[in-house]
Structure 1
């Protein structure tokens, strides 16, 4: 016990050191943008805006973004806001608001990264049982692209926290059967679902693995199964009580909404009931009880969650799907992308799948490895549907790759050990993909768009609504008094459609949209012109069509040159 505790403390210390070192390197590399609080992703900027609004007096339950479109009820959760907001409030008296925000957006991803690395080490020790597996997993986790992208400075969006919670649920799944382990798994999954639905399919696989191990092992795991169900249902009920936003639409199934909450609570209740029902003393009976619970859950969907039958984007207008949603990179099927993308983005995950298959083939009685095989296989299949799950799969690959290295190294074969290390280093896969010859036309150099100077050009326009390209919208919101027409959020359907009519429509259509929305100005960057016309539907005389010719519409007055953001002011 003492040796195990000392090993955990050692791994935790190394995890913090590795996270600190990489965070420092990443911060230095991106300091020009980071110091101006130009965060890596639009979602990071929107998270910062949500935190600012809350600190500024907006109610905890009010997640609306009043500067976006005509006012938008965001589909996000307050849970990921808690720590960054606390850091900002605590540090502001010492460092000022800008300094406090800068520290928060650097420190919070680093803390999540360190915790994730420590969990990966614990998982590797559990799956391997070999000496040194934890340290190897720490090193592999530091190289586990694309999962590491969740933890770079400025990444305050919720994906890093979701990955940490998924790993916590997975670690509880592998623990010795106990009510405590089950409760940890259930609460971790409830918290992840309360944040968002991205990792929900993988969380469901964790629940399924716990249930299947109960089927196989019987009464020794009954208490754990019941505690998992109670943790899930209790955690979701608590989240509904504390985190439910003021606008909580039951007609949507795109986030932590009432249909999702009801279904998760019911799933937890059914798991708890199955775990405590007496007389399930054979595998056949346990399979029957679990199948009955699953049938009851499915049968309840039309009654408790009819909105979920249409999927998370069921309310998105078809035209907006064609113009925007169908081109969102993270929503694309992995195996429909070029080979270079598959290698770079999924290489580590596929290597982990191969490693765990080999390990299971050699030890088919290891229930922990079988459970992890199911998780990794699920990540591969789900990434094949949507690319956004590949980073989760990369992280899930790390423990089994560390276990593989331990086994290969124990055989005393240096070449095989080097090959195992190379195949487990996630950062090598995008490097290899980048070396592949790709046949495509030469791209024109793009002007830098998200720069402090360009954002300042928009900020000095003063109060009013500004139209900018979707991915630029969240960056404009930080200017007090300014609103933005569109941003990459599916609930902003009407305004996002207006955005495309404005940039792609005929002059009379665009002018009418500008008048309807009372636009103060229209701003775009030459580098985004093609992104606005992914479907090739720019009308003759539209803003995009004229921009390609170096011209501007007659119904606007240009007030900035092509060296940066081009700003058009509608004529009276």
Structure 2
């Protein structure tokens, strides 16, 4: 890139020396655009995902005086409440923003501003981390390309949009910091960065546990190849063990002191401490022979894996630890838990394209590397990108991480290929060729392909379900429930529970959280069983009203499993005499009944 000056302003120098300032300025512009674009949704508190709704309830509980280590949600399945397996770490920025705005705007608007602004904070971390990574891997002025390509990572950027207050954005930020650490030529600093980023991600949740494990394996393999990598592995081992310990002590809920497999409990804490200690010990030994280092690394891996299998056999199956009935009834039907090839072309193609491009870019970058350090760094990034792509064949929920990890490789291709077109002697090639090249290497062409290749037209039933989901979760519909009936416990769908308790004063029965198997199965049994079975279950929970949302996604499961079950009969107009209709306005999305137990 040649130096470009405008009235004394040296663009290249600014990009090289003041890149953090410009990255933060770009972040502020992007965050401001997001808030302006989605302000209507923010002002309506239109939290679209059940986890986002539950996160806000967790923050409300904390600010209302709920114990720091008590993460039960007492407005679902009252009075005992439901156990939520999260930590408080992600609650902190949301709670802080509410407390900052509250004296000036009141609580309601403070909540809206907080849930609008908070998701953009991890975006700032991600942009800075990816910028630092490509500066180290490619060139000091390459970071703007990385930011532009990151903006085109549709699956990734969704996690940073206003209202997306669940923990995924922060875990992706930790993953970006991991990439930054792997790309760091300073071995000590790089090891500390990777270890602390992994510990932070695990403290938040286990969703990216496989990526954390892969990062550790890459650090160990670098040491096997080059014993001078000893400082990186030693720092990684100490920071992983120490960071995980600190995360557990500071943020683990009371419920997470049990030997469970779905969070940073004593199970995974012991694994992280053991792995970190062994890597630190190997770094101290640091034998000269590559075969000796490989053997020691293999022994350490076998000790960790064997100890895990022997001490925690309950965790060798799925980490949620649910019964076969709950898995078949609910968990196996979660769309994001399916492999990418089981999804529509319109969804799968844009997610899969960029990881492939990133892997190609990392491969060519390694081939063209000028120094041994660059070669090793690009091989590490390539391994990470390939692993993320393989994870898509397991679950499509790996899509945001896979796209994020592809950014360095795609940036290298853009930095290398686009200038060739820009320097061509023919203007048509310079203009059209460079534009086409960037669209290809950035993966942005996928959107045009999906638009013009109509291989998966929308189905009518899918549109009906989507409309019902949106209408029943709307703020106006929820407020109607508060105006219509006194504060009560409402028996309703599992997926409607978190939204109900956020938007109304009413209590619900269940939410889609695997630790609450009994409540989830009770709701499904109530809707798919006989009318008498429903009334017995509802009475046990103290429910005074039945609230249903016709055509909501969950109701299609009830009808499919038991067409003549309780919900199937309701959908056909067969209403028991002990259900007393509660009048709602003409076009209300719900049907509401008072449950009479005296008939």
Query: TM-score, with normalisation over the residues of structure 1?
Result: 0.92
Query: Counterparts of 2:166 and 2:13 in 1: how far apart (Å)?
Result: 32
2:113 matched to 1:96?
no
In the alignment, which residue of structure 2 is the partner of 1:543?
A: 567
1:159-210: per-residue Cα shift (whole Å, max 9, x none)? 1111111111221112114323212211111111111111111111111111
2:439 matched to 1:422?
yes
For the 8 Å contact 2:490–2:544, the answer to whether it is kept is yes
Query: Counterparts of 2:238 and 2:12 in 1: how far apart (Å)?
Result: 29
For the 8 Å contact 1:136–1:402, the answer to whether it is kept is yes
Structure 1 stretch displaced more, 550-559 or 197-206: 550-559
Query: Counterparts of 2:507 and 2:137 in 1: how far apart (Å)?
Result: 51
Matched length: 566
Q: 1:510 to 1:108 in 2, by over 3 A?
A: same
Q: 2:460 aligns with which of 414, 418, 442?
A: 442
1:421-442: per-residue Cα shift (whole Å, max 9, x none)? 1124455534532442326753
Q: 2:216 aligns with which of 207, 211, 216?
A: 207
For the 8 Å contact 2:34–2:161, the answer to whether it is kept is yes
In the alignment, which residue of structure 1 is the partner of 2:127?
A: 117
In the alignment, which residue of structure 1 is the partner of 2:167?
A: 158
Query: Counterparts of 1:474 and 1:226 in 2: how far apart (Å)?
Result: 44
Q: 1:519 to 1:96 in 2, by over 3 A?
A: same
Q: How does 1:347-496 map to 2 (within 5 A)?
A: 347-363=353-369, 366-411=375-420, 412-413=423-424, 414=430, 415-426=432-443, 428-430=445-447, 432-435=449-452, 436-438=454-456, 441-443=459-461, 445=464, 446-447=467-468, 448-460=471-483, 461-478=485-502, 482-496=506-520
Q: 1:171 to 1:535 in 2, by over 3 A?
A: farther
Structure 1 stretch displaced more, 506-515 or 486-495: 506-515
Query: Counterparts of 1:86 and 1:19 in 2: how far apart (Å)?
Result: 20
Secondary structure of the 1:156 match is coil
Cα distance, 1:553 vs structure 2: 4.2
Q: 1:241 to 1:350 in 2, by over 3 A?
A: same
Q: How does 1:180-219 map to 2 (within 5 A)?
A: 180-218=189-227
In the alignment, which residue of structure 2 is the partner of 1:275?
A: 283
Query: Counterparts of 2:234 and 2:12 in 1: how far apart (Å)?
Result: 28
Query: Counterparts of 2:13 and 2:516 in 1: how far apart (Å)?
Result: 50
For the 8 Å contact 1:323–1:535, the answer to whether it is kept is no
Secondary structure of the 1:384 match is coil
1:490-522: per-residue Cα shift (whole Å, max 9, x none)? 111101011112222222222221222221222
For the 8 Å contact 2:237–2:279, the answer to whether it is kept is yes
In the alignment, which residue of structure 1 is the partner of 2:324?
A: 318
For the 8 Å contact 1:262–1:305, the answer to whether it is kept is no
RMSD: 2.5
Secondary structure of the 1:568 match is strand
Q: How does 1:25-174 map to 2 (within 5 A)?
A: 25-69=33-77, 70-129=80-139, 132-174=141-183
1:111-144: per-residue Cα shift (whole Å, max 9, x none)? 2212212222222222223x64211111111221
Q: 2:243 aligns with which of 235, 240, 254?
A: 235
Q: 1:541 to 1:159 in 2, by over 3 A?
A: closer
Query: Counterparts of 1:199 and 1:464 in 2: how far apart (Å)?
Result: 39
Secondary structure of the 1:385 match is coil
Cα distance, 1:7 vs structure 2: 3.8
Q: How does 1:491-570 map to 2 (within 5 A)?
A: 491-528=515-552, 531-533=555-557, 536-547=560-571, 549=572, 552-559=575-582, 560=584, 563-570=588-595
Query: Counterparts of 1:367 and 1:36 in 2: how far apart (Å)?
Result: 49
Query: Counterparts of 2:12 and 2:297 in 1: how far apart (Å)?
Result: 36
Cα distance, 1:468 vs structure 2: 2.4
Q: How does 1:292-303 map to 2 (within 5 A)?
A: 292-303=299-310
For the 8 Å contact 1:408–1:416, the answer to whether it is kept is no
Query: TM-score, with normalisation over the residues of structure 2?
Result: 0.89
Structure 1 stretch displaced more, 297-306 or 403-412: 297-306
Q: 1:335 to 1:479 in 2, by over 3 A?
A: closer
Q: 1:90 to 1:563 in 2, by over 3 A?
A: closer
Structure 1 stretch displaced more, 436-445 or 376-385: 436-445
Secondary structure of the 2:593 match is strand
Secondary structure of the 1:248 match is helix
5+ long unaligned stretches in structure 2: 1-10, 425-429
Query: Counterparts of 2:383 and 2:405 in 1: how far apart (Å)?
Result: 11
Q: 1:307 aligns with which of 310, 314, 317?
A: 314
Query: Counterparts of 2:122 and 2:502 in 1: how far apart (Å)?
Result: 25
In the alignment, which residue of structure 2 is the partner of 1:571?
A: 596
For the 8 Å contact 2:174–2:198, the answer to whether it is kept is yes
Structure 1 stretch displaced more, 187-196 or 556-565: 556-565
2:357 matched to 1:340?
no
Q: 1:9 to 1:81 in 2, by over 3 A?
A: farther
2:262 matched to 1:254?
yes
Query: Counterparts of 2:401 and 2:593 in 1: how far apart (Å)?
Result: 42
Query: Counterparts of 1:166 and 1:321 in 2: how far apart (Å)?
Result: 29
Q: 1:379 to 1:540 in 2, by over 3 A?
A: same
Cα distance, 1:276 vs structure 2: 0.7
